[in-house]
Amino acid sequence: MSAHHGVSHYENFPVASWLCPAALRPAVMAIYGFARTADDLADEGDATPTERLALLAQYRSDLQACAQGLPGSGRWRPVFDALAPVLRQFKLPLHLLTDLLSAFEQDVVKHHYDSREQLLDYCRRSANPVGRLLLHLYGVDDDASLRQSDAICTALQLINFWQDLSEDLPRGRLYLPSDMLSEYGLSPADLRQGQDSAAVAALLHTALTWARGLMLQGAPLVRRVPGRSGWELRLVVQGGLRIAERVQALGPAVLRQRLQLGPADVALMIWRSVRM
């Protein structure tokens, strides 16, 4: 998930944390700290894959200890000191936190996916638990809302991947699955060369249409989440849709440059959020 991926992966996480209700802020920050630290273990610094997996295994056993009220290794004390009262107070579903860890472990060893299904399974563990944990804090737990949350989180993750192509490709990571590449007669090498072809433009169009469809499927959730958090979610949804629009407009150039949103994009996102 990389230094920058650490950022991109979580930049949608309380995107506008000033909108987060004050009573929930410590809980949101504790979950964020837990995920962020695991992300860094998977990706920061120059440890070998074997060392990373060993650290993540220790982190996982510290989580289990924390959930049982036992002392862990003490290595990540601030993370687990913040998480322990949140686990107890909100009865957080532990499997959502261990799902995140399994995705980070996978990230250490797997850098390309064969099929959409494989990529969706990765998103199910790397992105969807974040939305479900936040909904749990808000007390929203019906099936329809959880499915909509999953659709939004998966869409955000996919859009982030394709926003980051220019940074991931040189590092040997590619989150456009092989089955999609072969539909357009493309190989990972074609993308690494930054090919400016109609095939690449068509591939990106298909990928972004898929992600946008998921985002729109999840969008009705903004009306289920109460108060300020509902506004925060509107901005998250509109932010993802805006990035997808801009990546689509960039086309194959996204293989060579990373898109950044500017003030005009933010103004547009706010306006669209109000109209949702």
The contacts found for 265-271 with CB under 8 angstroms, 24 or more apart, are 268/238, 268/242, 269/235, 269/238, 269/239, 269/242, 270/235, 270/238
Residue appearing with tokens 């036992």: 70
**Percent of the chain scoring above 90 in pLDDT:** 74
Can you tell me whether residue 112 is helix, strand or coil? Answer: strand
Predicted confidence (pLDDT) at residue 5 exceeds the cutoff of 50: no
User: In the Cβ-directed half-sphere of 87, how many Cα atoms lie within 13 Å?
Assistant: 18
For the stretch 14-27, pLDDT in tens is 444 556 788 888 99
What is the separation of C-alpha 242 from the centre of its chain, rounded to a whole number of angstroms? Answer: 16
Q: Determine if the pTM surpasses 0.85.
A: yes
Contact partners, residue 74, CB within 8 Å, separation at least 6: none
Query: What per-residue confidence (pLDDT) applies to 148?
Result: 96
Confidence band (pLDDT; 50, 70, 90) for 185? very high
For the stretch 222-245, pLDDT in tens is 999 888 888 889 999 999 999 999
Query: What per-residue confidence (pLDDT) applies to 2?
Result: 36
Query: What per-residue confidence (pLDDT) applies to 7?
Result: 38
For the stretch 22-69, pLDDT in tens is 888 899 999 999 999 999 999 888 899 999 999 999 999 999 999 999
Confidence band (pLDDT; 50, 70, 90) for 196? confident
For the stretch 90-139, pLDDT in tens is 999 999 999 999 999 999 999 999 999 999 999 999 999 999 999 999 89
Summarize the confidence of residues 201-223 as an average pLDDT: 96
Residue appearing with tokens 């979580």: 10
Report all structural domains of the chain as residue ranges with CATH numbers, in order of start.
3-275 (1.10.600.10)
